Structure 1
Amino acid sequence: MTMEQSGTSSLLQDAVQELASGVVSALRSGDHARAAAPAAADGGAKDLTLAAVRVLGADALLPSTLLRVPPLPDELARFRQAVEAYPPGAGAAPTVAWSHWAMRRTLRRLDPGRADGPDEEPDATWLEGATWPVLTHQLAVLAALALPDEDCAVARAAAQRPVDVARGFVRAVRRRDWRQAAGAGRWLTLLEGVPRTLGLENGLDFVELMGGQDPLVALQVRAARLTRAGAFV
């Protein structure tokens, strides 16, 4: 990686963290306007903003999804631009395809008048027979799909293996992989059959304590808490 590439990567990471921080603030306050990505100038700054939205995926509009409030027009427009600017390439990883699908599904929910194209799900057979560590890792990457009313192949795969996801959560905590633990914990709030001995609530408290300074961890934990509290109803 060249120094220029490294600098660009660092700028993107900073932009993703800033956007995630805005989402967390909105989830905590109920003020969805605070989640909007910062206004970007033309050229590289705009590209960086759209790339950050694409990296965060459907969670960029999570306050509107969970709190049932319409997104701001500019926020929705940026989200749509990110979807259009970064479609999965040929041979894209399954998680990339599913993340893009989740963004398109979010657009259909929040802007149904402009929905276009088929809503066909990507392939999910790669999850069949996945070991529990692999399953947990993949689910954590796709935590934006962990929504109360989401019905898709990934969600159904998670629902079939609550004990394995619980094992993965514990493993992530022990490895101090707070992002994976937070993502797995978000899924566990939706699953039936999670062992009571897991102590999920205390586990989420611990993950938040140890990793909550990372807005990507805080976002997942906050989403899990809102789901458990039924704030989406």
Structure 2
Amino acid sequence: MAEQTQGAVPLSAVIADAATGVALALRGEGDPYALSGILRQEDALAPAAVRVLGADALAPYAMEQRAAPASADDAAVVRQALATYPPGADASEVSVWTYRGLAEAARAFLPGDGQPWPPAPAAGTGWVGTDPWPRLSHRVSQLAALALPQVAPGLAEQLAARTDDLARGFVRAVRRRDWPQAAGLGRWLARFPEVPQTLGLDSGLAFVRQMGGADPRVALHVAAAQRFHGRGW
């Protein structure tokens, strides 16, 4: 998805602002979260920003206690993103899975409005068992938005079988100061039931937040690990 501009505002800035809003909501800070308030349906870049953020655009609605309920306007923004940017026939596994994750999150967290949601496309998982750990770590970090409650449970179960490989990827990412990859992997590891104690995931995530938290999506991933899985405080 090529970066576009709306006036002087690039898509990357719109995504960063939205990610910051999500992270603040997950930490219980800022104004009550409303997706349609951050990314309005009439904004030209809103569909692309929602598509890039994926399920994370709806992460605040997954909290047990939230300040504001999801609305029909929120559903309209997500519908627009799903309709505008479906994965093509030659789409990567990451693109298909992020689309599927957004569709799953919409069904789980948004109100029914009488309209059917687009069907979630089939997404393969053969790579989970065959990718070598460096490639697996890269791919899984790109799918960090799927590490939400009620989203991609089957994928999470399969990935949990490779916890040790993903822990290895987390350590490598921290050593390479690749904070986005470290945050994404750490968020997935926080969801898994059996993470090696020797990994030091909580201190590792806290370190990633300290060093890379200026990146809004890094801050979002760490905030999600804390809010939903109690890790990284």
Q: Verify: 1:124 aligned to 2:125, yes or no.
A: yes
Contact 1:19 1:37 in 2 (8 A): no
Partner of 1:196: 197
Contact 1:173 1:181 in 2 (8 A): yes
Can you list the C-alpha shifts for 1:170-203, whole angstroms capped at 9, x where unaligned? Answer: 0110111111111111111111221101111100
After superposition, residues 158-177 of structure 1 pair within 5 angstroms as: 158-177=159-178
Aligned sequence identity (%): 43
RMSD: 2.4
User: Using a 3 Å threshold, how does the CA distance of structure 1 residues 41 and 93 change in structure 2: closer, same or farther?
Assistant: closer
Partner of 1:64: 61
Contact 1:22 1:34 in 2 (8 A): no
* Distance in structure 2 (CA, Å) of the matches to 1:6 and 1:188: 30
Contact 1:162 1:192 in 2 (8 A): no
AA in 2 matched with 1:222:
A
User: Using a 3 Å threshold, how does the CA distance of structure 1 residues 26 and 36 change in structure 2: closer, same or farther?
Assistant: farther
Moved more, 75-84 or 11-20: 75-84
Question: When the two structures are aligned, how many residues end up with a matched partner?
Answer: 223
Can you list the C-alpha shifts for 1:49-75, whole angstroms capped at 9, x where unaligned? Answer: 221111111100100023454313322
TM-score, normalisation: structure 2 = 0.86
* Distance in structure 2 (CA, Å) of the matches to 1:139 and 1:164: 11
Moved more, 161-170 or 116-125: 116-125
Partner of 1:138: 139
User: Using a 3 Å threshold, how does the CA distance of structure 1 residues 134 and 22 change in structure 2: closer, same or farther?
Assistant: same
TM-score, normalisation: structure 1 = 0.86
AA in 1 matched with 2:146:
L
Contact 1:140 1:180 in 2 (8 A): yes
Q: Verify: 1:104 aligned to 2:103, yes or no.
A: yes
AA in 1 matched with 2:20:
S
AA in 2 matched with 1:38:
I
Partner of 2:14: 15
Q: Secondary structure at the match of 1:226?
A: helix
Q: Secondary structure at the match of 1:77?
A: helix
Q: Secondary structure at the match of 1:189?
A: helix
Tell me, which stretches of 5 or more residues in structure 2 are unaligned?
none
AA in 2 matched with 1:57:
G
Partner of 2:47: 50
| Cα drift, residue 100 of structure 1 | 0.6
Q: Secondary structure at the match of 1:167?
A: helix
Q: Verify: 1:182 aligned to 2:183, yes or no.
A: yes
Partner of 2:73: 74
Contact 1:186 1:220 in 2 (8 A): yes
Can you list the C-alpha shifts for 1:73-128, whole angstroms capped at 9, x where unaligned? Answer: 32232122111111111210011001111111112112345334544631121222
Partner of 2:38: 38
User: Using a 3 Å threshold, how does the CA distance of structure 1 residues 41 and 6 change in structure 2: closer, same or farther?
Assistant: closer
* Distance in structure 2 (CA, Å) of the matches to 1:111 and 1:121: 24
Moved more, 22-31 or 178-187: 22-31
AA in 1 matched with 2:188:
W
Flag the structure with higher helix content. Answer: 1
Contact 1:17 1:216 in 2 (8 A): yes
Tell me, which stretches of 5 or more residues in structure 1 are unaligned?
none
